[in-house]
Amino acid sequence: MLPTITFTTTPTDHPTDLLAAAQAAQADAGGPGDAAGAAGAAGAEPLAWLRRGDGFVGLGEAARFETSGPRRFGAAEDWWRAVLARATINGPADHPGMGPLALGAFAFSPASAEPSVLVVPRTLIARHRGREWITTADAAGCEAAPAPVPTDQGRGRPRPRPAGDAAPPQAMTESPGPVAAADWPAVVRRGIGLIEAGGLDKVVLARSVVAHAAAGRIDPQAVLAFLAGHYRDTWTFAVDGLIGATPELLIRSSRGLVTSRVLAGTIRRRGSDQANLARAAALARSSKDLEEHEFAVASVVAALAPLVEELAVPDIPSVLHLPNVMHLATDVVGELKRTPGGRLPGALSLVAALHPSAAVCGTPAAEAARVIGQLEGRDRGRYSGPVGWIDANGAGEWGIALRCAQLSPDRREARLWAGGGIVAASDPAAELAETEAKLAPMRQALGLGEPPGPA
């Protein structure tokens, strides 16, 4: 049954840390005042999409939609349009993300047992390019308590730490996934063999590990705050137990422009700044990494070409510096075509066209997906699927769910994933090292590794 929702947006002028404001709003509304308590309360975990202090933090659920299968993106977009058609919208909606908004996370594979989800938060606390606002969503017939809203009054409660000063992670242990680290080079060799046999140019293979809370539950708010504070140049996200900090933007769509940041080709940071500059230069010259990157860029360009008037694609990639790794990066920008009816394609239509890109699947995509299912040993779920948001105008940002973990329903375990692109020239030992480097952000956030140094 479709909900009937009243959305009310109120601009604010009180600069604040979004995560701290969200936790304070929960406390002021009479909910759990501490992060550990919030993790155990139904509906108390925040939804989030953050980068460099801007973005959204959502509290509660006014509505949610779950879907699966090949039409999961189209079904979600149809549901969102139907919700908007029944909605009452009060207040301004003249800025991307202002007004009605849903956050979502989608499974990598249409055959996944993990559902894809769109969630409409009951309260959305937002900031973008100096503008701040709060949007509440009141669903008709909802028996839940009033949506928590940040106020200037603390009611005597201590305020939480800002994201950059997150408390130390709790004690955790780790166990291997279906393929142990020692066995990963053999899996990579099988992938290389299939490429050399013909019919496959590139395949992205991923492995997982499982983190276990030594006592109690994993604290999602602390994990989110750690990632937002230490990996500010990534898009930090939390949707339905999927938490991470992705450096890769599948699409940004706003006011007729579409942008995609393609990452493929990786080298680990080690040693001094001077040493890392030399490693970055080596990455930019690596024939193996450049080949891997070219496949990823070509897949994005091919997917976007029918949807745009023109595309701007740099001739050579740049090097993106992160605290744990460096990537070859290309930002593809295009002007969207209007449909015969005069409409611009919505963000989820663009996601459907682009996913899965060669950056997370391979080339050709269908054969790479088959090999992934054959070699990885486990359903990826939402790992490497699209995660992000869409607003009432169809604008949105959708990243690829990388450097992430899916929390178990009881929040006592987290499954972490990391992968890499395999081409004929790949080295199995280097591919194992790459997955270890990519597991670092979530291990650190969960207390399984040392915090990163500066990028």
Active-site residue list: 202, 248
Handedness of CA 143, 147, 153, 156 (dihedral sign): positive
Tokens of 224: 């989110």
> How many angstroms separate the Cα of 121 from the Cα of each of 7, 35, 90, 124?
10, 18, 16, 6
Tokens of 290: 């450049």
For the chain, the C-alpha Rg in angstroms (whole number) is 21
Cβ(153)–Cβ(397) below 8 Å: no
Residue 420 to residue 362: CA distance in whole angstroms: 10
Three-state helix/strand/coil letters over the chain: CCCCEEEEEEEECCCCCHHHHHHHHHHHCCCCCCHHHHHCCCCCCCEEEEECCEEEEEECCCEEEEECCCCHHHHHHHHHHHHHHHCEEECCCCCCCCCCEEEEECCCCCCCCCCEEEEECCEEEEEECCEEEEEEEEECCCCCCCCCCCCCCCCCCCCCCCHHHCCCCCCEEEEECCCCHHHHHHHHHHHHHHHHCCCCCEEEEEEEEEEEECCCCCCHHHHHHHHHHHCCCCEEEEECCEEEEECCEEEEEECCEEEEEEEEEEEECCCCHHHHHHHHHHHHHCHHHHHHHHHHHHHHHHHHHHHEEEEECCCCCEEEECCCEEEEEEEEEEEECCCCCCCCCCHHHHHHHHCCCCCCCEECHHHHHHHHHHHCCCCCCCCCCEEEEEECCCCEEEEECCCEEEECCCCCEEEEEEEEEECCCCCHHHHHHHHHHHHHHHHHHCCCCCCCCCC
How many Å separate Cα 321 from the centre of its chain? 18
